[in-house]
Every structure is written in C-alpha cells, then in structure tokens.
Amino acid sequence: MGQEIVRRECHEEPGRRSRLCGLEDVFHVLKNDTGSDAIKGIVMDFCPETKEIRINAKALSKMRKLRFFKFHESQTIKWRGKPLKYMPTNELRFLEWSGYASRSWPSSFQPNNLTILRMYNSRMKQLWKGSMVFYNLKVLDVSGSEDLIKTPDLTGAPNLEKLDFSGCRSLCELHPSIEAIKGLEELRMSGSRIKELWKGLVVFENLKVLDVSDSKNLIKTPDLTGAPLLENLNLSGCRSLCEVHPSIGSLKRLKELWLNKCSGLKKLPDLSRLECLTDLWALETALTQIPSLDLIPKSIREFHLEVREYNSVDHGPINCTNASLRTSKRT
C-alpha cells in the first residue's frame, strides 16, 4: 500500500518520487542519473546474483534531501566512482550498507547528522581517520567486517548507545576514546582479537550488555566497578582468560554470566552479592572444584558447571533448591 502511494507521486520517473524501494526503480535512477531533491529515502535489501549491473555513483549527488539510505551490496553491482564521495550528507540520518566494498571512507564524506550507522559485513580496514563529529549518533554497527583492524576515534560521538564490532576477526585495538562515551548501553565485540578492553576504572553508568565472547586473545577482564547497571556479561570462548576481575562481585544488576569454553579459567569469582543473577554457565573451563554455594547467590535459576576433577572433599554443599545444577566430571 505504501509503495503504491509513492508510485503515484510520479508514474513516469521514479527519480521524482520521495522514496525508491524496488530494485528496478533504484537501478533505473542510479544507472540513468535521474535523481532529484524529491528523493528522501532509498531501500534496496536484496540484489539477485544473476547479471552484472553498472550504476553511476555520481547520480547520488542530485539527491540533496536524502535522509534514509539502506543498501545491500552484491558482487554483480559495479559502481562507476565511489558512492560515498557523492552522497549528500546534510539531511542524512540513517545509513545502512551491507557488504560495503571499499577499504575506508573518502575524506570528503562527513555525515555529521547521522543517528544510526550500520555497515556490517564490509571490507573496511578502518572507518575514518582522526575524529569526526557525530553528536546525534546513537548506533554504530560494523559487525562482520572481518578486515577491520581498529575501532575509530569516537571522541566526536559522545551520545552513542550501542556499539557492535561482533565478528570483526582482525580487530585488535580499541580506541581509548570509547572511555568518554558515558551513555553507552551495549558493547559487542565477540570474535575479535582484542587482548584487553580498558585499563583502570572507566565509568559506563548505563552499560547493560558486554559481549566479548570468542575473543580468544583476551587475557583479563577489566575493572567493572564503573558499570553498575550491567545485566549481561558474555565471556564464553575467551580461551586465554585466566581470571575474572573481582569487581564483578559488585554488579548487583547482573542477570546472566557466560563463561563457557574459558579453558584457562581455574576459579570462579565470589558471586554471593549478585542478588539478580539468574543464569550462570561455566562449561568446558579449567575449574577443578565445585565452588561452595555460599559464593553463589540464591537468585540462581540456571547453574551449569563442569569440572575437570570431582573431589567430594574439596567442594562445598551442592544441594541448592534455587538452582538447576548440573555437574560433570572431566579428566
């Protein structure tokens, strides 16, 4: 219904409509350079892998009122020129580009009014050089960008709420500017090559989700005292992790703790003060003893634990009516 209303705006020329949604319309405008100020949104979610399609990047320059751009890159799409070099940015609020093929942004691309930026599964090694102003940016998602080496300078994006670097397998450096994002709610870095997150005490007063699972080079967790609202901490698959920082014991809002496949972890921290903790998973670790349940909060609902040696003398009481407790012996 909505697309039909948009088509009625101009039957003859899609470049004079407010939105471009269909494949044929998008490619018609970009190929024939028929864009105009009328276009405020472009959506192309899917491109069939059938034949090569050549489109003109310069065609974007006529869309000076563009606010919303969602594009799915494909091997069959061949751009003449660099699209971000010509894309107008004054009105741009939403940019989602799956499979962006260039290694970085052109320096002329300054989308300072963005609120949401998603460029997942891209080939970028870095987003931008230096600091850029993104005062309104709330979401930055470059997940699956396997060639990304480091996170950008985020000094100019103080109002970010969600950062997603999941699946960035080459990522080994976290820019220190992240420490200034006080309103950050979610930080996802699963599958990265990061060795440490930050040093010392950093205040993330709104952080609720921290996911660094499968970060096999992570040696230690940071001081989390400055993240009092943290609810979900995922450390599963951090095979080099030997110790969880004791500050985890102060996270009274923590609900889920994932430690599966932390094969270097020999001891659980004191979790007795975590009055909201409901889920604790610690399978395939280096734990050699079942911890005393005095160190496990009564709020536990799911408690999955695996130890390498089962010694009835060393462990504490395991009768816990508030937990679903499963233990298995590995040697």
pLDDT at 82 over 80: yes
Task: In whole angstroms, give the CA distance from residue 297 to residue 277.
Answer: 7
Counted residue by residue, the chain has a size of: 331
Domain assignment present for residue 100? The answer is no
| pLDDT bracket for residue 322 (50, 70, 90) | very low
Domain assignment present for residue 50? The answer is yes
Task: In whole angstroms, give the CA distance from residue 250 to residue 261.
Answer: 24
Token representation of residue 115: 């609120």
Query: Span 48-64, mean pLDDT?
Result: 84
Domain assignment present for residue 102? The answer is no
Cα first-last separation, the chain: 63
Beta-carbon count within 10 A of 144 CB: 19
Flag the least confident range among 65-74, 172-181, 284-293.
Answer: 284-293
Query: Span 80-107, mean pLDDT?
Result: 91
pLDDT at 320 over 70: no
Query: Which pLDDT does position 78 carry in this prediction?
Result: 84
Q: What's the pTM? A: 0.88
Query: Span 201-214, mean pLDDT?
Result: 93
Domain assignment present for residue 281? The answer is no
Token representation of residue 121: 């599964």
Between vectors from CA 52 to CA 51 and to CA 54, what angle results, nearest 5°? Answer: 140
Task: In whole angstroms, give the CA distance from residue 244 to residue 144.
Answer: 27
Domain assignment present for residue 314? The answer is no
**Can you give the residue range of the structural domain that contains 59?**
1-91
pLDDT at 90 over 80: yes
Query: Span 61-70, mean pLDDT?
Result: 94
Query: Which pLDDT does position 313 carry in this prediction?
Result: 39
Mean pLDDT of the chain: 85
Distances (CA, A) of 323 to 262, 267, 295: 22, 20, 13
Domain assignment present for residue 15? The answer is yes
Query: Which pLDDT does position 267 carry in this prediction?
Result: 86
Q: Which residues pair with 90 in a beta bridge?
A: none
> Which of residues 35 and 57 earns the better pLDDT score?
57
Report the domain count for the chain.
Answer: 1
Query: pLDDT tens across 226-258, in order?
Result: 999 999 999 999 999 988 999 999 999 999 999
Query: pLDDT tens across 259-297, in order?
Result: 999 999 988 888 889 999 999 998 888 887 777 767 777
DSSP state of 12: S
Query: Which pLDDT does position 2 carry in this prediction?
Result: 44
48-67 as b/e: b if 16+ CB within 10 A:
eeeeebebbbbbbebbebbb
Query: pLDDT tens across 105-161, in order?
Result: 888 899 999 999 999 999 999 888 888 999 999 999 999 999 999 999 999 999 999
Query: Which pLDDT does position 129 carry in this prediction?
Result: 86
Query: Span 292-315, mean pLDDT?
Result: 68
Of 141, 146, 253, nearest in space to 206 by CA: 253
Mean pLDDT comparison of 173-187, 280-294, 314-328, highest-scoring range: 173-187
DSSP output for 141-154: E-TT-TT--BPPB-
Q: Which H or E element spans position 279?
A: strand 279-282
Query: Which pLDDT does position 326 carry in this prediction?
Result: 53
The proportion of the chain whose per-residue pLDDT surpasses 70, expressed as a percent, equals 86
| pLDDT bracket for residue 85 (50, 70, 90) | very high
Q: Rg for the chain (alpha carbons), in Å?
A: 24
pLDDT at 102 over 50: yes
Domain assignment present for residue 186? The answer is no
